[in-house]
Structure 1
Amino acid sequence: MSDDLHPHAHLFPVKHPAWAADATIYEVNIRQYTSEGTLRAFAEHLPRLAAMGVSIVWLMPIHPIGEVSRKGTRGSQYAVQDYFGVNPEFGTLDDLRQLVQQAHRLGLRVLLDWVANHTSWDNPLVHEHPDWYQRDAQGQLVPPVPDWTDVVALDYRQPELRRYMTEALLYWVREADIDGYRCDVAGLVPTSFWNDARRALDQVKPVFMLAEWDELYPSGGLTWDNFDGDTKLLEQAFDMTFGLRLHYLLDHIAEGKAQLADIDAYLAAERAKYPSTVYLMHFTSNHDVNSWDGTEYERLGPLALLFAVLTVLLPGMPLVYSGQEAALNRRLAFFDPDPIDWQDYPLQDFYTRLLQFKRRHPALRNGDPLSRFRRLPSSSESLYAFVREKEGRAVLCVVNSSAEPLSLPIEVGPWTDVFNEVQVTAGELAVPAHGWRVLEKVA
């Protein structure tokens, strides 16, 4: 569906920063990234990530962590004790400033993870502004979710809270020159707050805003045939939300509960709900998925890398989580130090080829209404193939979920294989078991 014909295109006026058009995003778990667990130690990896094709670095929360009702030895990074401070475990404000400056020199942008919905029990706001918090019928503070026992929920009916939180968001843009935010459980905070905050932030500099939410897959659950989610977060406040529905669909395919062809229904639902200028983020892992649901190898088995290919080449912005380029096959502890074993980065080349290809190919740009997606027919339900085209340039992606090699007839090229740089003309394209072929049409 053309954006000119999309019935709701006028409702999505968010202007994405120009640098986001070819961007990919990388989530950084500072605590687990190095043995030191500091901003300064992580910064040494920035040149490697830039070379890998990463454009946006998302830092998990960097603020001091509450001690009251703390989980584990170090607590959750999402139990914020001070919105204007840097967790001394991670370093100092100057360390953050230097990290951002180095990232900018390398052409990278930096997002901070922002927890607007709740604070730790010992955040000074609890005593200084007790009316800013939600309470039960007995007048007791309450967590936003029963098992989030280390945090208490804020009440955005209070105008002063909204002003305070907006000033806190502005502080880090002004003081550290960050480029935007990833906003935790954004749908639990009123959209009107986010709309106002985005306008205030953009007056300082154009920012990029990522909502941890998926309006195609609301928190209350969604059947495969029910797509009536709320799209308000993406209308004025956010550039991108999580593609949770695709994430869960890939899990279901790996479990045998869905087929590759069901991706077509997902894409149709996405296009019916949003114009193509809207960004959705696709991934096979992140900090929550890795720690609580399992690694991509636990959940997806032999399809883990195949699905990583899809998350990069389907329409949307791909996310890589800390350690995926190391083939991390371990659930990282959430509340305690648990450094990643990088093992000489065995998947660095895999991700570099994918992310750099996405960055340079015009048909793969984010939110581009002129890029055409075309599904290719196949005689096997284990094959999923598509072409993305723009201005005579094309990308062909074929994945094979079966344990047997398969083949697919392809149209005349010539094509070049992105992974082995071998030229392919036409005929039957061999696709290895649990494998993929990514081809670029040679002009």
Structure 2
Amino acid sequence: MKKLVLILMVFSFLVSCKNEPNKEESSAEETQKDSLAPVSDDMMESAVIYEANIRQYSPEGTFDAFTKDIPQLKELGVKVIWLMPMYPISMKNRKATGEKDVEDIEDPEERKKYLGSYYSISDYSAVNPEHGTMEDFDELVQTAHENGMYVILDWVANHTGWDHAWITEHPEYYTKGKDGEITDPINDATGEPWGWTDVADLNFDNQELREKMTEEMLFWVEEHDIDGFRADAAHSVPTDFWEAAAKTLNEAKPLIMLAEAQDPKDLFHNAFEMGYNWEGHHLMNEIAQGQKTVKDWDNYMKKIDTTFQEDDFLMNFVTNHDENSWAGTVEERMGDASEAMLAMSYTIPGMPLIYSGQEYDMDKRLLFFEKDTIPKTKGKVYPLLEKLGELKNSNAALNGGKNKASYTAVNNSAEEKVLLFKREKDGQTLYFVSNMSGEPVNFTAEMEGDFSDYMNDADISISRGQEMKFEPWEYKILINK
């Protein structure tokens, strides 16, 4: 009997040992989970950012459909994924079409197709069930991290949807009109509404609102491990709020903070690392349309050099969700200049952006309030982005962050038409040269040497005083050999 008891005790011990997690395996799993290095200035020097429109990215419009494609984004050099708002959307005053709201549409089936604006949020701490569950969202973030990518959320601090609980629970959080009622956002310059009737304006004079808004942002950092925020209409919210919020948030973990503003230079400092290059983008459109010249671009770069601080940097783009839906496709706005402008957006200082569908030659305006979907066939742009992304990731001469490579305009004999600049850092030198006009141009330039013609996988030698001829919108990226 004693032998039987002893045998049972030994057997029980062996089973318990077998079922106990192996400490080395547990440690390996933890290491894998935490394998993504914290956000750093070095990472942002060579990063490409991808704007993910979850609703329109796939026919399903789900987190899962996007998550399965995340590994493929590495082919494009993507290091940062920016998710457009994926929170629940208010039904009250929901935008439909033209000047109509959903309430104006009597047919219930017709109503269903109007999903509302991503930026009319009814709950900051939940996900839109159309996209999936919070668990699906967490899987997206984890997959991005496992593939060496950081995830930032679109944060809409300026206003909420009319269904947000604060409307009834905390009306003191909102701006009141002359009649004492909560109002939609007002243009400070004119005193008139912007026409954003589907959202209610928040009043940041209220200190409790500031604290609550910061708590809502911190929820996503601490509970769901996100890596930063793209601040919608950042200029419409007091800068001192952003500064205080950024300090609190970065105490939890280092973050990427991107300001969407027409003039972001006053928003950097203690609030944001990166701002939108709206002015540069509009200038690129105007050059493509023959309204401005390379001289205008040179003057713009001189202005940046004198008005921005040395460690400020910008996000460059040829398209994004606003431009695509409201101003037109890349083809509509830039036409034959599209490829040259895309290459330029990767070679000027800053971080280049890819918007959902851009990589698939998308030539349609995505619907904003309804379900739509992007194409998924690789054409001309995908391999171009692969090649530009590889160069951006690997060549220090294209560093574009706080410790960016130098940017020097190079003199040439056709300065109204030919854009020519040099980037240098850590012994690496790169030239971008492009005919930014719709006519062929012959020119000479103050440069010489042996170069690698990167986009054409060829070698090229340029002697002093040598005349070059470029066709309309032709460009080259030349790397010193």
TM-score, normalization by structure 2: 0.83
Q: Which string of whole-angstrom CA distances, capped at 9 and with x for unpartnered residues, describes residues 136-173 of structure 1?
A: 01012211143111001001111111111111100001
SS at match of 2:287: helix
Shift of 1:368: 5.1
In structure 2, how many angstroms separate the alpha carbons of the residues matched to 1:376 and 1:108?
Answer: 35
- The answer on 1:66 being equivalent to 2:90 is yes
Instruction: State the one-letter code of the partner of 1:188.
Output: S
- The answer on 1:392 being equivalent to 2:427 is yes
Greater helix percent: which structure?
2
Partner of 1:178: 226
Partner of 2:310: 276
- The answer on 1:423 being equivalent to 2:423 is no
RMSD over equivalenced CA pairs, Å = 1.7
Q: Is the 8 A contact 2:171 2:182 kept in 1?
A: no
Partner of 2:293: 259
Partner of 2:408: 374
In structure 1, how many angstroms separate the alpha carbons of the residues matched to 2:406 and 2:284?
Answer: 23
- The answer on 1:354 being equivalent to 2:388 is yes
Q: Is the 8 A contact 1:260 1:382 kept in 2?
A: yes
In structure 2, how many angstroms separate the alpha carbons of the residues matched to 1:20 and 1:259?
Answer: 30
- Aligned counterpart for 1:134 among listed residues 164, 175, 178: 175
Unaligned runs of 5+ in 2: 1-38, 97-113, 186-192
- Aligned counterpart for 2:418 among listed residues 375, 383, 386: 383
Shift of 1:310: 1.1
Partner of 1:9: none
Shift of 1:435: 1.9
- The answer on 1:20 being equivalent to 2:59 is no
Shift of 1:257: 2.1
Shift of 1:439: 1.3
- The answer on 1:33 being equivalent to 2:57 is yes
Partner of 1:402: 437
Q: Is the 8 A contact 2:312 2:402 kept in 1?
A: no
Q: Which string of whole-angstrom CA distances, capped at 9 and with x for unpartnered residues, describes residues 82-141 of structure 1?
A: 001000011111111111111111111111001011000111110000111001010122
Partner of 1:441: 480
Partner of 1:89: 130
SS at match of 2:269: helix
Q: Which string of whole-angstrom CA distances, capped at 9 and with x for unpartnered residues, describes residues 354-396 of structure 1?
A: 1220111111112355732221222222211111112332111
SS at match of 1:55: strand
- Aligned counterpart for 2:147 among listed residues 90, 102, 106: 106
Q: Structure 1 stretch 380-389 or stretch 333-342: which is displaced more?
A: 380-389
Q: Is the 8 A contact 1:16 1:239 kept in 2?
A: no
SS at match of 1:91: coil
Shift of 1:430: 4.7
Shift of 1:413: 3.0
In structure 2, how many angstroms separate the alpha carbons of the residues matched to 1:198 and 1:157?
Answer: 18
1:189-208 pair list within 5 angstroms: 189-208=237-256
Partner of 2:108: none
Percent identical across equivalent pairs? 39
Q: Is the 8 A contact 1:277 1:366 kept in 2?
A: no
In structure 1, how many angstroms separate the alpha carbons of the residues matched to 2:179 and 2:336?
Answer: 51
Count matched residues: 414
Partner of 1:169: 217
- The answer on 1:123 being equivalent to 2:158 is no
SS at match of 1:206: coil
Q: Is the 8 A contact 2:41 2:402 kept in 1?
A: no
Partner of 1:239: 273
In structure 2, how many angstroms separate the alpha carbons of the residues matched to 1:401 and 1:45?
Answer: 35
Q: Is the 8 A contact 2:337 2:473 kept in 1?
A: yes
Q: Structure 1 stretch 291-300 or stretch 394-403: which is displaced more?
A: 394-403
243 and 38 in structure 1: CA distance in 2 versus 1, 3 angstrom threshold: same
In structure 1, how many angstroms separate the alpha carbons of the residues matched to 2:292 and 2:439?
Answer: 19
107 and 21 in structure 1: CA distance in 2 versus 1, 3 angstrom threshold: same
In structure 2, how many angstroms separate the alpha carbons of the residues matched to 1:255 and 1:332?
Answer: 22
Partner of 1:151: 199
Shift of 1:347: 1.1
In structure 2, how many angstroms separate the alpha carbons of the residues matched to 1:370 and 1:187?
Answer: 25
Which structure is larger by alpha-carbon Rg, 1 or 2? 2
Shift of 1:292: 0.5
